[in-house]
C-alpha cells in the first residue's frame, strides 16, 4: 500500500479553548486514543507496561511509589481498550481550513481549502510509533453539496480569507499490522478510517454546518 505524500496538518494552538465550545458529544482524539483504537481494531492487546514506563506520571514518580502508579495506569489503559468499540466509536480530528461557497454541476457547493497543503492522511505519533489515519473516502475533505437553506445561511456567515475549523469524525475500518509503510523516512502503521461526520466551526467555536452519514464501512 502506497501512501499519498501529502499530509493534513492538525491544529494544536488554542485547542483547549476551542474544545470548550464544542458539542458535548465531540472529544478530539489524542495520540493515545488513536493507538488504542488501532490495536483494538486489529484485535491485538498491547503490552501496556511498555506504554507506561517511558511517560508521565511514571517517570517522575519516586521509585518506591512506581509499582502503584504502574498498576493504576495499566488498569486505566486496559479499561480504555476494553471500552473502545470499533463498530460504534469514532475518532474526531480537527483541521484548519478556509471555506468557499461556489457551484459544482450547477448546484451550490461548500469547498474546503487547505492553504499550502493538500489532504492525504492524518499523522499521529505515539511514543516510538507513528500512526497514519487514512480516509477511505478522501473526497469528503474536498467539500459538500448544499441545500438551499444551508447556502443562504453560509453566504452570510462565511467571510472570505478567514480561517475555519473542520472537524471530521472517523470510523475505524482496518488496522494494517502486516507491515510498516515508509513516508519521507517515517515508518507508519496504516489505519484506514471512514469519514462519517463533518462539521464546520468558526473561531468562537460556533457550529456553522454539519453533515452526518449513518454509514459505517467495516471489513
SS3 of 33, please? Answer: helix
Query: Residue 1: what pLDDT?
Result: 42
The secondary structure of residue 29, as a DSSP letter, is P
pTM of the model: 0.84
Q: How far apart are CA 70 and CA 195, in angstroms?
A: 36
Query: Residue 217: what pLDDT?
Result: 53
Cell of 87: 463498530
How far, in Å, are 50, 120, 157, 186, 208 from residue 192 at the CA level?
A: 25, 12, 34, 18, 28
Query: Residue 116: what pLDDT?
Result: 63
Query: Residue 8: what pLDDT?
Result: 52
Please provide the distance, in angstroms rounded to a whole number, between the alpha carbons at the two ends of the chain: 17
Cell of 107: 448546484
Helix, strand, coil % in the chain, rounded to nearest 5: 25, 35, 35
Query: Residue 138: what pLDDT?
Result: 92
Average pLDDT of adjacent 10-residue blocks, the chain of 219 residues: 45 37 74 98 97 96 96 98 96 93 89 74 95 94 88 89 92 96 93 95 90 64
Residue with C-alpha cell 488554542? 14
Rounded to a whole number of angstroms, the CA Rg of the chain reads: 19
The DSSP element (H or E) to which 37 belongs, if any, is helix 31-42
Q: How far apart are CA 174 and CA 216, in angstroms?
A: 12
The secondary structure of residue 133, as a DSSP letter, is E
How far, in Å, are 139, 142, 144, 148 from residue 105 at the CA level?
A: 16, 15, 12, 15
Query: Residue 117: what pLDDT?
Result: 61
The pairing of strands 122-126 and 129-135 is antiparallel
Query: Residue 86: what pLDDT?
Result: 96
Amino acid at each position: 500500500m502506497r501512501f499519498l505524500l501529502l499530509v493534513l496538518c492538525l491544529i494544536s494552538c488554542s485547542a483547549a479553548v476551542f474544545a470548550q465550545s464544542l458539542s458535548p458529544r465531540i472529544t478530539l482524539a489524542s495520540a493515545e486514543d488513536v493507538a488504542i483504537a488501532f490495536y483494538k481494531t486489529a484485535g491485538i492487546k498491547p503490552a501496556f507496561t511498555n506504554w507506561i514506563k517511558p511517560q508521565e506520571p511514571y517517570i517522575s514518580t519516586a521509585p518506591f511509589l512506581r509499582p502503584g502508579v504502574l498498576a493504576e495506569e495499566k488498569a486505566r489503559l486496559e479499561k480504555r481498550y476494553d471500552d473502545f468499540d470499533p463498530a460504534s466509536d469514532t475518532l474526531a480530528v480537527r483541521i484548519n481550513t478556509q471555506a468557499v461557497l461556489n457551484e459544482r454541476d450547477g448546484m451550490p457547493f461548500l469547498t474546503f481549502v487547505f492553504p499550502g497543503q493538500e489532504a492525504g492522511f492524518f499523522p499521529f505519533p505515539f511514543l516510538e510509533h507513528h500512526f497514519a489515519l487514512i480516509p477511505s473516502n478522501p473526497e469528503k475533505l474536498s467539500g459538500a453539496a448544499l441545500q438551499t437553506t444551508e447556502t443562504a445561511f453560509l453566504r452570510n456567515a462565511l467571510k472570505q480569507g478567514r480561517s475555519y475549523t473542520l472537524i471530521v469524525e472517523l470510523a475505524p475500518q482496518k488496522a494494517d499490522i502486516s507491515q510498516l509503510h515508509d513516508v519521507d523516512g517515517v515508518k507508519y502503521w496504516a489505519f484506514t478510517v471512514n469519514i462519517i461526520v463533518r462539521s464546520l466551526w468558526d473561531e468562537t467555536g460556533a457550529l456553522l454546518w454539519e453533515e452526518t452519514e449513518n454509514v459505517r464501512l467495516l471489513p
